Structure 1
Amino acid sequence: MSARIYHERQVAQLCALHALNNLYQRRNMFTKKQLDGYCYALTPRVWPNPHRSCLGWGNYDVNVIMYAVEQLNCETIWFDRRRDPHCLNLAEIFGFILNIGAAVSLAYYIHLPGVRNRHWIALRRIEGNYYNLDSKLKQPRCIGNELKFLDYLRQQLKPENDHELFIIVRRQRQQQQQEQAEQQRWLRPEYRPMQEESE
């Protein structure tokens, strides 16, 4: 594993913050103060805010992640897990954020049976291989090349796992945005919807 891979470890319920910084491979690309601010930009309500924990420990929802990546000229696309991940055009995708069900525990040691929370994980290609940058891991975990990564996604998106995948793509220049949206460049060409021919 490259020593140059940036990896934030889990603190409180800040997995969304860690996933964003791990995705962009930069310390303090986003801060807790920024994400809290995004919560109130999305819903200007003093308390409780629906986009984070009422205790202020984090637990941000997908709306905050989407708003955050927009600040860096990217967009978030929900992936329909009924599709086979092999339809993805990885060359056009910046990275991924996976949302998984996670057991709730007290002080990280006492697990509460039947109580589950959601956890955000960044997945990204770095120096030719894809990595799981989960903040709960001691270090990044190498998944492997494109084929191994697509097989990994297939396993993660099995119905019994109740996981959700979000694709992060960079936006093109303003004049190209409409064309890019129509083409769905994050899909391989053979999986894109057929465009109606102009008369």
Structure 2
Amino acid sequence: MSSNPKADENNKKIERSPYHERQRQGLCALHTLNCTFQDGAFTKKDLDNICFELSGKKWFNPHKNYSGFYDVNVIISALRKKSYSLIWFDRRKKISSINFSNVFSFVVNISTNFKLCWLVLKSYWSHWFSIRQIGDNYYNLDSKLTRPQQVQNITDFLQPYSINPNCHIFLVVSEDVEKEKSWLIDDESTTSD
């Protein structure tokens, strides 16, 4: 039995097809949050308001760009409004160090690089998507997919992202799980060399 009754309760509630939003504009962070909570929990206006709360600027806000791409600070603030936290997963640890039963959802961020002949330019654009357990199965809820894709093995699915230098894995956990650090299995053998 999980020590996170809130996550268990939310997983049990969902017996239908997973909620999924398709990509529009640069709103992948919005889609990620809504797929994480399996409803239309947030709107673009909600995230724009969070940006304003963070910086006080409506125009040229450092937490979003003109097409709506939102940075990690907006996702953190939105999750806090729902009593959840975002934990950055240290790639030096093995995926097997995660206590999956205490993780509400996973969020992956993939940065893109642009190639111009031999020159590789780092982009400030990146893509957010979530992976969530619904019932007994995990689903990739990437807004670039036409529909959610069932994940056969969550460890195998996350592994390539954990070693890709252009990717970051984040864990969405309840505030209690964050405080207790119970999202992590305390085992020295789970750290990579």
Shorter-chain TM range is 0.7 to 0.9
Amino acid at match of 1:51: H
Q: Does 1:33 align with 2:45?
A: yes
Shift of 1:122: 0.7
Which residue number in structure 2 is paired with residue 159 of structure 1?
164
1:58-77 aligned within 5 A: 58-77=68-87
Shift of 1:47: 2.3
Instruction: Give distance in 2, aligned partners of 1:58 and 1:47.
Output: 12
Q: Does 1:83 align with 2:93?
A: yes
Instruction: Give distance in 1, aligned partners of 2:79 and 2:43.
Output: 13
* 4+ runs deviating over 6 angstroms: none
Select the structure of larger CA radius of gyration: 1
Which residue number in structure 2 is paired with residue 143 of structure 1?
151
Deviations 1:54-101 (A, max 9, x none): x2x211000000000000010111111121111000111100110012
Q: Does 1:130 align with 2:135?
A: no
TM-score (norm 2): 0.80
Instruction: Give distance in 2, aligned partners of 1:31 and 1:103.
Output: 28
Question: What's the C-alpha RMSD, in Å, of the aligned pairs?
Answer: 2.2
SS of 1:157's partner is helix
Q: Does 1:97 align with 2:107?
A: yes
Which residue number in structure 1 is paired with residue 8 of structure 2?
none
Which residue number in structure 1 is paired with residue 31 of structure 2?
18
The total of aligned residue pairs comes to 169
Shift of 1:103: 6.7
Amino acid at match of 2:92: R
Amino acid at match of 1:71: K
Instruction: Give distance in 2, aligned partners of 1:88 and 1:102.
Output: 26
Amino acid at match of 1:40: F
Amino acid at match of 1:154: Q
Instruction: Give distance in 2, aligned partners of 1:190 and 1:157.
Output: 18
Instruction: Give distance in 2, aligned partners of 1:31 and 1:11.
Output: 13
Instruction: Give distance in 1, aligned partners of 2:54 and 2:158.
Output: 30
Instruction: Give distance in 2, aligned partners of 1:130 and 1:49.
Output: 35
Percent identical among aligned pairs is: 38
Q: Does 1:186 align with 2:190?
A: no
Shift of 1:14: 0.3
Amino acid at match of 2:158: L
Amino acid at match of 2:50: Y
Instruction: Give distance in 1, aligned partners of 2:164 and 2:48.
Output: 32
Amino acid at match of 1:163: C
5+ residue gaps in structure 2? 1-14, 115-119, 189-193
